[in-house]
Chain A
Amino acid sequence: MSAGLAPEGGEPEFLRAFDIQAGDFAGAGNVSIAVKNLLKELGFAPEVLRRAAIAAFEAEMNVVMYGGGGHMEVFIAPRAVRLVISDHGPGIPDLDLAMQEGWSTATPEMREMGFGAGMGLPNIKRNSDQLRITTAPGQGTRLQVDIFPR
Chain B
Amino acid sequence: MPASLAQVAQWLRADVLCCAHVLDRSITMCHGSDLMSDVLAFSHPNTLLLTGLTNPQVVRTAEVAGIYGVVFVRGKRPREVMVALAEEYGLPLMVSPYAMFDACGLLFSQGLRGWSLCGPGQRP
Question: Residues on A close to B: CB < 8 A?
Answer: 25-26, 28-30, 32-33, 36, 46, 50, 53-54, 56-58, 112-120, 122-123, 126
Contact = CB atoms under 8 A, between A and B. Distances in A.
Given A50-B66, A54-B65, 9 more contacts: A29-B57, A29-B61, A29-B64, A36-B63, A114-B35, A116-B37, A117-B38, A120-B37, A123-B41
Q: Which 9 pairs from chain A and chain B are nearest by CB?
A: A29-B60, A114-B36, A119-B37, A53-B64, A57-B64, A117-B37, A123-B41, A113-B57, A117-B35
A115 B60 contact: no
B56 A36 contact: no
Contacts, number: 71
A28 B35 contact: no
B58 interface: yes
A33 B39 CA distance: 16
Contacts of B55: 112-114
B40 interface: yes
Interface residues of B, number: 22
Nearest to A47: B45
Contacts of A25: 57
A32 B64 contact: yes
A113 B45 CA distance: 22
23 contacts: A28-B60, A29-B56, A29-B60, A29-B64, A32-B64, A33-B63, A33-B89, A53-B64, A57-B60, A113-B57, A114-B34, A114-B36, A114-B39, A114-B51, A114-B53, A114-B55, A114-B61, A115-B37, A116-B37, A119-B35, A119-B37, A120-B37, A123-B40
